[in-house]
Chains A and B, each alone.
Chain A
Amino acid sequence: MSLPNHARCVVIGCGIVGNSLAYHLTRLGWRDVVLLDKGPLPNPGGSTGHASNFIYLVDHSKEMTALTMDSVRQYKELGVFIQSGGIEVARTPERMQELTRRMASGESWGIEGRSLLTPAQVKELVPYIDEKVILGGFNTEGVGVVDSLRAGTLMREKGRAADALHVAPKTEVVGIDVEHGRVKRVRTTDGDIETDIVAITGGVWSPRIARMAGTRIPLTPAVHQMIDIGPVPRFRGAKSDIEHPIVRDMDTNMYERQAGGDLEIGSYAHKPILYDPEDLPPVEQAALSPTEFPFTQADFEEQMQHALELMPEIVGDESVGVKYAINGILSLTPDGMPVLGESPDVKGLWAAAAVWVKEGPGTGKAVAEWMVHGESEIDLHSSDIARFHEHQKTRAHVRARAAEGFNKTYGIVHPSEQWASNRNVRLAPFHIRERELGAVFFEAAGWERPQWYESNASLLEEFGDRVTRRSAEWDARWWSPIINAEHLAMRDRAGLFDLSAFTIFDILGPGALASVQCAALRQMDVPIGRVVYTPVLSPQGGFKSDLTIMRLGDEHFRVVTGGAGGMADKKWFRDQLVRGAELADLTSSMTTIGLWGPHARRVLQGATSDDVSNEGFKFGTCRVIEVGTQRVLASRISYVGDLGWELYVPIEQGLKLWDTLWEAGRPHGMAACGIGVYGTTGRLEKCYRAHGNELETEYNVVEAGMTAPRVKEEDFIGKAAHLRHREEDPAAVLCTLTVDDHRAKSGENRYPLGREPILTRDGKRIVDRRGRGSYVTSAGAGPSVGKHILMAYLTPEEAVVGNQLLVEYMGERYPVSVAVAGATPLFDPENTRIRS
């Protein structure tokens, strides 16, 4: 069969992801889809072919769990799933605590059949384990193994049966032609295919393919070691591939699973061994397959000892031999999440890479929906290829973070845990001042942002009991009570914030208004000098983003958004540009300082002769003022809910502005405040929502309590869905809850950190009519209200102020109450401060 010379879409790579993506594209109605691979079928030689093929369900990431659960559903439908159960065992008290956290995440994401087991109970299910080595286990009944190659074959057959899919194995892509920023054709060893859409599903080869189109897919091939030992006397006569639960020995970064008559032992414990995509041999030169490298025994020495400790009956049996051992190659990314979606550089070039077997089919389906409908059912923002900033796509960054992340595969990773490698990439112009103040830096999009300032420790004494201390190490990790003290200083006087990590871009030209109107829910045809906070909706009316837009001229809008989602937002706006509009990225040209608090006006007035009175500079407006010798764009809005401004200057003048404001603030007791205040305490007291926490495509404006009285006349993305949502009763209501009692059984006070399940008082999961469970979307202190604050979507029945519920945290349940149903702030509910 010859290769077609034209295609609706060319999918490159026949691993589990490519097969799934191609199939789902045809299922959603696309015709003339071509699926290529340079290797043979059914096993083209990539990571799918040597994967251990087991699926654990619970992950702390909601997105990853959703993709995994959907994959399991598909594998089951294809008849290639064998349920075995899986037990994560703990050797340390820290791990036991982590297992309770995993129990809770399972509850949050709705995974049934979970239980914590005693060592004796583990032994009952896994009789060959030495239960003396472990303290307990976390059992998930729904864990199982799949035949991923068979699944791929079946998916290809379905696509072919629908006469919509052409499969071409042993066809290597040699080029991807791009014209005017759009994909035009794929060149292969068997001829050219004209096409507008290309999807790269080439696993570890993906970066090589992306480079042909002049862009990058930031992943690195890395080694995962696996050995197979047997024959295991106990497994003699095994009737299926697996009859005992898979064991994950979390503390040693290893797993052991029955594989027919043998035991397979895998490890993520060894030192990270990274390769470049160019290091992978061609199919015909590989002894096994191009992604099965020779085993390096030296990297596995300790692991043998660990396996022997845990399963001495099998591993210590002299008659059981090591039959097979490989260094399998898999994909790692700088942040551990996949790389999905349309390239921000080349229109029509899609990626679905760094995806493992456990989430392969679900990812294929989600990306297919995204390609066909413009969005997927599962919110994929953490996996969006557009999320990467330029420096995050460099080889050095990818390798540094992949190496650091590798040993966290089974690690106990605190939700606020910071990366150690490749830091200090982006520094604010006043970074030197922050250092002088003892800033503790957290990273956002490569920027070093002060989370709090050690020099503010003196405030602890000032605020005394108003600052809650945390005694549990986990709760206090990557945290300081100084954050709360800074918060109180800001609320009482004034605070100065480093907001350099903002992503800033201008939309310019005759088409500027039409372009921003298209992206923004709110009316953008406002007078010059107005600042508008607006949701950005997905086609189905979910939250793509939320951000502020300043109108600086007739044909000039400035979009300001967070660092984390900034690159994806930029792509989104660029995709909506109409003729006569252009986008200019100012992120590295402008720096931003926030100044808020009741004394903010006095501070600013001390540095400017311009009128910054409430009458002279109204809330929700922006204009250029003079601060000393600097012309500063001041914007009167606030994410901490207090009087004040965001102040924008060219980046080289940032230090001067900081120093000027610092001097002006001194008489007013102004404190430098970290992002701990900006992103958590200040925000939560005001019940402000955050993208990625409360705001996801899976929830709509009505549910989030952000409905405006009117909908603008002009069309915008998601409008039809939004209008529909306004007519419906919401399935869920975003609520603010407070913790009523923090006391654990141990007597210690505990403070949930987010993502925990919210349960009814009798311990039942709360699930809305669209099947979404209630969990803590954000958690943090509210120092001014004296409460620990949680946000969560609840069903309308539960979303009643005063309703008493439970939050599960670290294996215990704590009473909580609904404080607010909807968006009314807990602190300053009338918003008098911000408008004063």
Chain B
Amino acid sequence: MSVLVLMEDGGPSRQTLTLARKFGEPRSVRIDAILPFAPDALATALAQAADELDASAVFAAGTERGNEVMARLAARMDLPFAANCIAAAPGDPVEVTRLRWGGSLLEEARLHSPRPLITVAPHTVAADDGSVPPEVDLHHPHDRDLTVRVSDHVEPSSAGVSLAAAKVIVSGGRGVGSKEGFAIIEELAALLGAAVGCSRAVTSAGWRPHTDQVGQTGTKVAPEVYIACGISGATQHMAGLKGAKRIVAINSDPQAPLMLNADYTVTGDLKEIVPAISAEIRKRR
């Protein structure tokens, strides 16, 4: 039996292979097989390939593009699709475990499908270290599948450190109190060469742009150190922190969820503590 896998560069696709192998011998289609990126064309190509291979299942990494292409494949083939799985056991039905609420909740589900379509949530499954599966030959894309395709690219406008790539993030929540209150957060971030982040409450209040928002509907981050100032730690925010190595929480409420999920805590008024940290760093220079 073959299983078809949509491959991208990087870890998530290697992780996907781990689950895919349970469903058969992997064959692959590269996500950049059609350039510029045209998701409908890619979905059509996958459908044809799956048919030709009589693939037992189709897998992709649960990245934005992976989920998108798989959803189009599902719509085209009129099949169900389980996104962001962390486990999948072959059978009829296929038993899957998938993420909900950005990973704050797990769902056990049964996938009733002649050809299971599954994406694998990044960083939830060990990477496969076997050989790269052989690619299948694709048909030339049809014009009608090229209506949706990338026609241009815009560089990021912000000059600062990007959240997703930052090694250190200093982040503020409702406890910062106001737009102006972020001055001390920015000051500390500048001293640390860090990016500034914030919680959803802050973005909703209009204190910071959405590009600064860390969380389920903002940016998911993976810094060495995440300093959370005055953030209570609702599940929405915690969902974006799963990749952080060390979390430092500064909060007046020692029982705030984030304080309970941090590696280090400082209890008290962030308006005193944050400037004190900045002063301490300056002193040591």
Chain A residues packing against B (C-beta within 8 Å):
39-43, 169-170, 283-284, 287, 323
A796 to B253: give the CA distance in the assembly, Å: 57
Would you list 16 pairs from A and B whose C-beta atoms are within 8 A, ordered by A residue? A39-B255, A40-B253, A40-B254, A40-B255, A40-B256, A41-B253, A42-B253, A169-B254, A169-B255, A170-B254, A170-B255, A283-B255, A284-B255, A284-B257, A287-B234, A323-B205
Across-interface contacts of B113 in A (CB, < 8 A): none
Output the nearest chain A residue to B252 by Cβ-Cβ distance. Answer: A42
Across-interface contacts of A43 in B (CB, < 8 A): 253
Q: Given contacts A39-B255, A40-B254, list 16 more A-B pairs with CB under 8 A.
A: A40-B253, A40-B255, A40-B256, A41-B253, A42-B252, A42-B253, A43-B253, A169-B254, A169-B255, A170-B254, A170-B255, A283-B255, A284-B255, A284-B257, A287-B234, A323-B205
Across-interface contacts of A40 in B (CB, < 8 A): 253-256
Give min CB distance, A320 to chain B, whole Å.
14
The 10 closest A-B pairs by CB, nearest first: A40-B255, A40-B253, A170-B255, A40-B254, A42-B252, A283-B255, A43-B253, A284-B257, A39-B255, A170-B254
Chain B residues packing against A (C-beta within 8 Å):
205, 234, 252-257
Output the nearest chain A residue to B254 by Cβ-Cβ distance. Answer: A40
Across-interface contacts of B256 in A (CB, < 8 A): 40
Give min CB distance, A156 to chain B, whole Å.
14
What is the interface of chain B mostly: helix, strand, loop, or mixed? loop
Across-interface contacts of A39 in B (CB, < 8 A): 255
Output the nearest chain B residue to A260 by Cβ-Cβ distance. Answer: B178
Output the nearest chain A residue to B204 by Cβ-Cβ distance. Answer: A323
Contacts between chains A and B (CB distance < 8 A), count:
18
Give min CB distance, B251 to chain A, whole Å.
10
A284 to B252: give the CA distance in the assembly, Å: 16
Across-interface contacts of B252 in A (CB, < 8 A): 42
Across-interface contacts of A287 in B (CB, < 8 A): 234
A170 to B252: give the CA distance in the assembly, Å: 14
Most chain B CB within 10 A, of A39, A41, A283, is at A41
Output the nearest chain B residue to A170 by Cβ-Cβ distance. Answer: B255
Give min CB distance, A516 to chain B, whole Å.
53
A635 to B232: give the CA distance in the assembly, Å: 69
A325 to B193: give the CA distance in the assembly, Å: 38
A243 to B252: give the CA distance in the assembly, Å: 28
Output the nearest chain A residue to B205 by Cβ-Cβ distance. Answer: A323
Output the nearest chain A residue to B255 by Cβ-Cβ distance. Answer: A40
Output the nearest chain B residue to A283 by Cβ-Cβ distance. Answer: B255
Most chain A CB within 10 A, of B205, B255, B257, is at B255
A287 to B234: give the CA distance in the assembly, Å: 8
Across-interface contacts of A323 in B (CB, < 8 A): 205
Across-interface contacts of B205 in A (CB, < 8 A): 323
Across-interface contacts of A41 in B (CB, < 8 A): 253
Across-interface contacts of B253 in A (CB, < 8 A): 40-43
Output the nearest chain B residue to A287 by Cβ-Cβ distance. Answer: B234
A207 to B256: give the CA distance in the assembly, Å: 26
Across-interface contacts of A170 in B (CB, < 8 A): 254-255
A169 to B255: give the CA distance in the assembly, Å: 10
A41 to B234: give the CA distance in the assembly, Å: 18
Across-interface contacts of A169 in B (CB, < 8 A): 254-255
A540 to B254: give the CA distance in the assembly, Å: 45
Across-interface contacts of B255 in A (CB, < 8 A): 39-40, 169-170, 283-284
A106 to B234: give the CA distance in the assembly, Å: 47
Give min CB distance, B131 to chain A, whole Å.
48
A116 to B256: give the CA distance in the assembly, Å: 47
Give min CB distance, B136 to chain A, whole Å.
49
A43 to B252: give the CA distance in the assembly, Å: 9
Give min CB distance, B238 to chain A, whole Å.
13
Most chain B CB within 10 A, of A40, A42, A287, is at A40
Give min CB distance, A713 to chain B, whole Å.
61
A284 to B205: give the CA distance in the assembly, Å: 24
Most chain A CB within 10 A, of B234, B252, B253, B256, is at B253
Give min CB distance, B220 to chain A, whole Å.
22
